[in-house]
Amino acid sequence: MPDRCTYDYAIVRVVPRVERGEFVNVGAIVSSDAESFLAARFAVDEARLRALDPRIDLSAIRTALDAIAAVCDGGPAAGPIGKLSLRERFHWLVAPRSTIIQTSAVHTGRCDDLDGALDHLLDRMVRPLAPPSP
């Protein structure tokens, strides 16, 4: 059995109208210093976002989420932030902000597989629940 590693994570949410405080979870960011891992994945439910704001600019949302993924990847494509260390990039991504894209508080977990943990977070916290069986 592989060694379990510790990771930090935050849920990414879209707050279409910040003044109302309503949001839809759209992704997750996972970071593990010990494994040199920083990644984000998204599952955007456009219908849920439009239910909160029929005029939402989904193109702008996708651009912002792509920027998060670029910062996770690091390097020149992420601009000056991409030159920071993995840990610094994670802290930059999860810093509190009052914009349309926000993150939850940071939480900690343990797993054998960081990619699997990221998928699990999407299933548990982001993707809509399956309807109950009849």
What are the backbone dihedrals phi and psi of residue 72, each rounded to the nearest 5 degrees, phi first?
A: -60, -45
Cut 0.85: pTM above it: yes
Burial of 10 by CB count in 10 Å (0-12 exposed, 13-18 middle, 19+ buried)? buried
pLDDT in tens, 59-113: 999 999 999 999 999 999 999 999 999 999 999 999 998 899 999 999 999 999 9
In a domain, 96, yes or no: yes
Structural domain count of the chain: 1
In a domain, 32, yes or no: yes
With a cut of 80, say whether residue 1 has pLDDT above it.
Answer: no
Six-digit token pair at 66?
């792509």
Question: How do strand 101-103 and strand 5-14 relate by DSSP bridges?
Answer: antiparallel
With a cut of 80, say whether residue 2 has pLDDT above it.
Answer: no
Q: Which domain holds residue 90?
A: 5-126
CA distance 117 to 11: 13
